[in-house]
Chains A and B, each alone.
Chain A
Amino acid sequence: MGVMPAADALMYDSWSIIMLWTAIAVYVLAFICYAVDLAQRSEASVKAKDRAAQLVGGGSGAVEERSTPGAGGRPAGMMARVGTTLTWIAFLLHLGATVLRGIGAGRVPWSNMYEFAMTATLLFTAVYLGVLFWKDLRFLGAFMTGLVAVLLGAAALPAIYVEITPLMDPLKSAWLVIHVFVASLATAFLALAFALSVLQLLQARRERRSVDDESLAEKKSVLRTLPSAEALEGLAYRFAIIGFIFWTFTLIAGAIWAQDAWGRYWGFDTKEVWTFIIWVLYAGYIHARATRGWRGTRSAWLSIVGFVAVLFNFTIVNMFFEGLHAYSGID
Chain B
Amino acid sequence: MSNSRSDLTQNSSADPQRPDDHFDSAAPKVAQPKLGVVGWLRWGWRQLTSMRTALVLLLLLAIAAIPGSIFPQRMANPNGVTQWETENPDLFPIVDALQLFDVYQSAWFSAIYLLLFVSLIGCILPRTKHHLKALRSRPPRTPARLSRLADFRAESLEGADAERAIEAAEKRLKKQGYRVERYDSRGSFSVSAERGYLRETGNLVFHASLVGILVAVGLGGQFAYTGQSVITEGTTFVNSLLNYSSMNKGRWVSDDALDPYAMTLDSFDVSYVEWGEAGSGQAGDFSANVTIREPDGSTEEGAVRVNHPLRVHGDAIYLLGNGYAPTVTVRNADDEVVYREAVPFLPQDSNMTSLGVIKIPDGLEEQMGFVGFFYPTQAPLESGAFTSAFGDLVNPVLTLNAYEGDLGIDDGTPRSVYTLDPTGMEQLTGGDTGRDSIELSPGQSAELPGGRGSVTFEDMTPDGADPEEVGYSESVKRFASLQVHHDASTGWVLAFAILLLVGLMTALFVPRRRLWVKVTPEGDGMRVEYAGLARGEDPAIGRAVDELAEGHRKDL
Chain A positions within 8 Å of B, measured between CB atoms, are: 5, 9-10, 59-65, 163-170, 172-173, 230, 234, 237-238, 241, 244-245, 248-249, 252, 255-257, 259-270, 273-274, 276-277, 280-281, 283-284, 287-295, 302, 317, 321-324
Contacts and interface: CB of A to CB of B under 8 A. Distances in A.
Nearest to B320: A263
10 contacts: A64-B542, A163-B278, A165-B279, A169-B306, A172-B284, A270-B69, A281-B62, A291-B52, A292-B51, A317-B69
A274 B69 contact: yes
B150 interface: yes
A261 B25 CA distance: 47
B349 to A, nearest CB: 12
A323 B70 CA distance: 10
A20 to B, nearest CB: 18
Chain B: number of interface residues, binned into ranges: 35 or more
Nearest to A174: B307
B190 interface: no
A61 B150 contact: yes
B58 A267 contact: no
Interface string B294-328: 00000000000111110000001010100000000
Contacts of B494: 256
Given A61-B542, A268-B104, A290-B22, A263 B226 contact: yes
Contacts of B498: 252
Given A284-B58, A287-B54, 12 more contacts: A59-B2, A64-B542, A163-B278, A163-B279, A237-B537, A248-B500, A260-B309, A267-B76, A268-B76, A287-B58, A291-B23, A294-B55
B241 interface: no
A298 to B, nearest CB: 10
B80 interface: yes
B58 to A, nearest CB: 4
A237 B536 CA distance: 13
Pick the 10 closest A-B CB pairs, nearest first: A165-B279, A263-B318, A169-B306, A291-B51, A284-B58, A280-B62, A273-B69, A270-B69, A173-B307, A61-B150
Nearest to A241: B508
A238 B285 CA distance: 44
B14 interface: no
Contact of B490 (A64, A265, A267): A265
Contacts of B217: 266
Contacts of B170: none
A168 B497 CA distance: 28
A166 B278 CA distance: 8
B21 interface: yes
Given A165-B278, A165-B282, A255-B497, A63 B539 contact: yes
A317 to B, nearest CB: 7
A59 B482 CA distance: 64
A61 B151 contact: yes
Contacts of A244: 504, 508
Nearest to B280: A165
A270 B69 CA distance: 5
B278 A169 contact: no
Residue among A61, A172, A293 facing the most chain B CB atoms (10 A cut-off): A61
A294 B59 CA distance: 13
A270 to B, nearest CB: 5
Nearest to B149: A61
Given A63-B1, A167-B284, A292 B76 contact: no
Given A234-B539, A267-B76, A280-B58, A166 B284 contact: yes
Interface in B14-41: 21-25, 27
Nearest to A242: B508
B309 A263 contact: yes
B22 A60 contact: no
A328 B374 CA distance: 29
Contacts of B316: 263
B535 to A, nearest CB: 12
Nearest to A283: B58
Contact of B505 (A245, A276, A290): A245
A13 to B, nearest CB: 9
A168 B282 contact: yes
B490 to A, nearest CB: 6
A267 B501 CA distance: 21
Contacts of A237: 537
B21 A292 contact: yes
Contact of A169 (B72, B77, B307): B307
A251 to B, nearest CB: 8
Contacts of A262: 318
Nearest to B105: A268
Contacts of B278: 5, 9-10, 163-166
Contacts of B62: 277, 280-281, 284
Interface string B38-74: 0000000000000110110011011001101110110
A291 B497 CA distance: 25
A293 B21 contact: yes
A273 B285 CA distance: 29
B401 interface: no
Residue among B69, B151, B226, B542 facing the most chain A CB atoms (10 A cut-off): B69
Residue among B62, B70, B282 facing the most chain A CB atoms (10 A cut-off): B62
Nearest to A294: B55
Contacts of A64: 539, 542
A312 to B, nearest CB: 10
Nearest to B67: A273
A322 B77 contact: yes
B403 to A, nearest CB: 33
B485 A263 contact: yes
A27 B341 CA distance: 63
Contacts of B539: 63-65, 234, 238
A237 B24 CA distance: 17
Contacts of B286: 169
Nearest to A321: B69
B65 A284 contact: no
Contacts of A59: 2
A281 B541 CA distance: 29
A60 B150 contact: yes
A237 B483 CA distance: 44
Contact of A170 (B25, B54, B150, B306): B306
A61 B1 contact: yes
Given A61-B150, A280-B62, A264 B22 contact: no
A229 to B, nearest CB: 12
Contact of A273 (B68, B151, B309): B68
B23 A166 contact: no
A244 B22 CA distance: 21
A279 to B, nearest CB: 9
Contacts of A292: 21-23, 25, 27, 51
Contact of B21 (A10, A167, A170, A291): A291
Contact of B483 (A65, A249, A263, A324): A263
A263 B318 CA distance: 6
B493 interface: yes
Nearest to A271: B69
